[in-house]
């Protein structure tokens, strides 16, 4: 099937994917006015589901045009909310995280850095094919945010939501994907809209000076998807959007059990194809989950416009069973491939080697013009979590600029 690659070696997959991407990009650009994705189910093609749609906020996120002047606000990010009670009761640890988020939203509501939306990096439930897991355990908690706090909410798809099948058309994916579509139908951009890839859980939106894009990293080898991401970034007005945020489930780099000495195929594809694309377009943040812990990586690189920084966060502390540090990943090939950009990678925050020391948490990002800051909020027994040097929970995500220099978008 065109666009789906399953070669077993990096070199073969890379050469083949590059060739198909070129073909797919031309085809995609020729058909962006009327997308067709016959090999994946659009929301309208799904059979009736017993999944209940999550209620939207009464006041949704304003349009890109009406929010253009906004340059100071906050947003929340977290992920991996699945748990052992899925389908039988509310997810208790996720509930703790949601209640803490609600307190944070209330505390900022009347200030200049009010929280304007929530991002979730995926794995809402253990098995997205089971309607009761959405209806009983997950959606009622999200309704507390969307209805109770009038908060727009955007879920990236995780492997547990749609299974780990690596091909977009895999039958085992379809039911979970359809349930995802139904649960989130009133929260994410509708099919046929400007920033939506039909038939995929891939979409983007702009708010203020920040552009957010999410795609299905479980099928990272899908070249139609890659072409869509590439096209979205290439046509973006960077004067309007100096800040780009990418939300995926699988992390490009991690030191948890899904990373460390193990390099999963999705992460390998993200490193090989997507991260160079993100650096080319000066993406500011890559947010992921999959490993149930917190860690922070910083990439520094140079191009013709000067020095740049990209921050990667693994934020999987939304309520799923916690994971421990598994070891440093082997980045030799990654750094070698990035050597023309003088790529350097810093592991700024490592997770703890004992799972219970990696707390439930969420992240609050504050945007002030082209500056972004982060605060890590520990929950329950993790309250007071301070992962940065000198016991800090906050950090400004920028490096000092030379005197007289300005940051290039």
- SS3 state of residue 248: coil
Cβ(249)–Cβ(158) under 8 Å? yes
216: nearest Cα among 254, 167, 257, 253: 167
**Mean pLDDT score of the chain, rounded to an integer?**
90
For the segment 140-163, what is each residue's pLDDT rounded down to a tens digit?
Answer: 999 999 999 999 999 999 999 998
- In this structure, the number of other CB atoms found within 10 A of the CB of residue 67 comes to 18
Q: Is the pLDDT of residue 41 over 80?
A: no
Residues 355-401 have pLDDT tens digits of 999 999 999 999 999 999 999 999 999 999 999 987 799 999 998 76
What pLDDT is recorded for position 19? Answer: 45
Cβ partners under 8 Å of residue 18, min gap 6? none
- Phi, psi of 110, rounded to the nearest 5 degrees: -105, 10
Alpha helices in 196-240 (DSSP H): 223-234
Burial 18-52 (b: 16+ CB within 10 A, else e): eebbeebbeebeeeeeebebeebbbbeebeeeebe
Give the model's pLDDT for residue 42: 66
Tokens of 232: 């979205």
Query: Residues 250, 195, 198, CA angle at the centre, nearest 5°?
Result: 75
Question: Directed axis angle between helix 10-31 and helix 223-234, to 10°?
Answer: 60
Of 277, 282, 284, the residue nearest 302 (C-alpha): 282
**Contact of 254 with 329, CB cutoff 8 Å:** yes
Q: Which of 66, 78, 181 is nearest to 120 (CA)?
A: 78
SS3 content of the chain, % helix, strand, coil (to 5): 30, 20, 50
Pairwise CA distance, residues 107 & 286, whole Å:
26
pLDDT score of 388: 95
DSSP one-letter code for 261: T
Residue matched to tokens 């939207």:
56
Could you give the CA distance from residue 226 to residue 214 in angstroms, rounded to a whole number?
11
Give the pLDDT mean for 247-274: 97
Window from 38-47, 70-79, 183-192, 275-284 with minimum mean pLDDT: 38-47
- Which element (helix H / strand E) includes 161? helix 159-162
Return the DSSP state at 135: I
Q: Please give the radius of gyration of the chain, using alpha carbons only, rounded to the nearest integer.
A: 20
Looking at residue 403, its pLDDT comes to 56
The 8-class DSSP code of residue 147 comes to: I
d(CA 219, CA 163) in angstroms, rounded, equals 11
Q: Residue 156 has what DSSP assignment?
A: P
Cα–Cα distance between 161 and 174 in angstroms, integer? 10
The average pLDDT across 324-339 equals 98
- What CATH topology corresponds to 10-396? Purple Acid Phosphatase; chain A, domain 2 (3.60.21)
Above 50 in pLDDT, residue 26? Answer: no
What distance separates the 2 farthest-apart alpha carbons in the chain?
60
Q: Which residue carries 């908690």 as its tokens?
A: 141
What gap in Å lies between CA 19 and CA 38, rounded to an integer?
21
Sheet order of strands, 153-155 included = 153-155, 115-120, 72-78, 361-368, 371-378, 394-396
pLDDT at 167 (0 to 100) = 80
Query: What secondary structure letter does DSSP report for 122?
Result: S
Mean pLDDT of 110-121: 96
**DSSP-assigned states of every residue in 173-235:** HHHHHHHHHHHTTTTSPPTTSTTEETTTTEEEEEETTEEEEE--GGGTT-HHHHHHHHHHHHT
Count of CA atoms in the C-beta half-sphere (13 A) of 72: 7
- Report the percentage of the chain scoring pLDDT > 70: 86
Rounded CA separation 282/276 (Å): 10
Are residues 352 and 323 in contact, defined by beta-carbon separation less than 8 angstroms?
no
Band the pLDDT of 165: cuts 50, 70, 90. Answer: confident
> In angstroms, rounded to a whole number, what is the distance separating the alpha carbons of residues 323 and 354?
8
């Amino acid at each position: 099937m065109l666009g789906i690659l399953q070669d077993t070696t990096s070199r073969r997959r890379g050469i083949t994917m590059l060739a198909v991407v070129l073909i797919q990009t031309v085809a995609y650009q020729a058909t962006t006015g009327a997308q067709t994705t016959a090999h994946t189910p659009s929301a309208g093609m799904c059979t009736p589901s017993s999944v209940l749609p999550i209620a939207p906020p009464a006041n949704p996120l304003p349009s890109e045009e009406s929010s253009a002047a906004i340059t100071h606000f906050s947003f929340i990010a977290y992920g991996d909310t699945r748990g052992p009670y899925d389908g039988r009761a509310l997810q208790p640890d996720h509930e703790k995280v949601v209640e803490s988020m609600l307190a944070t939203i209330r505390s900022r509501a009347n200030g200049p850095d009010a929280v304007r939306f929530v991002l979730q990096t995926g794995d809402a439930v253990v098995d997205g094919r089971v309607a009761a897991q959405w209806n009983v355990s997950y959606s009622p908690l999200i309704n507390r945010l969307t209805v109770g706090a009038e908060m727009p909410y955007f879920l990236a798809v995780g492997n547990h939501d749609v299974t780990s099948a690596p091909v977009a058309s895999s039958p085992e994916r379809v039911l979970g994907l359809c349930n995802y579509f139904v649960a989130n139908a009133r929260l994410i951009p509708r099919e046929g809209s400007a920033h939506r890839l039909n038939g995929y859980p891939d979409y983007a939106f702009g708010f203020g000076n920040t552009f957010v894009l999410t795609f299905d990293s479980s099928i990272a080898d899908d070249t139609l998807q890659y072409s869509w991401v590439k096209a979205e970034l290439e046509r973006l007005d960077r004067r309007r959007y100096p800040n780009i945020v990418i939300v995926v489930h699988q992390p490009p780099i991690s030191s948890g059990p899904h990373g460390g000495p193990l390099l999963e195929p999705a992460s390998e594809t993200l490193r090989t194809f997507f991260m160079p694309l993100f650096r080319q377009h000066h993406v500011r943040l890559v947010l992921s989950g999959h490993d149930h812990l917190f860690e922070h990586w910083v990439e520094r690189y140079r191009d013709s416009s000067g020095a740049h920084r990209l921050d990667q966060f693994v934020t999987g502390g939304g309520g799923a069973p916690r994971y421990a540090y598994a070891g440093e990943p082997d980045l030799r090939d990654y750094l070698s491939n990035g050597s023309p950009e003088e790529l350097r990678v810093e592991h700024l925050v490592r997770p703890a080697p004992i799972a219970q020391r990696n707390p439930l948490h969420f992240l609050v990002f504050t945007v002030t013009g082209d500056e972004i800051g982060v605060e890590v909020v520990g929950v329950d027994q993790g309250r007071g979590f301070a992962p940065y040097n000198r016991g800090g929970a906050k950090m400004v995500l920028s490096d000092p600029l030379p005197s007289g220099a300005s940051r290039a978008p």
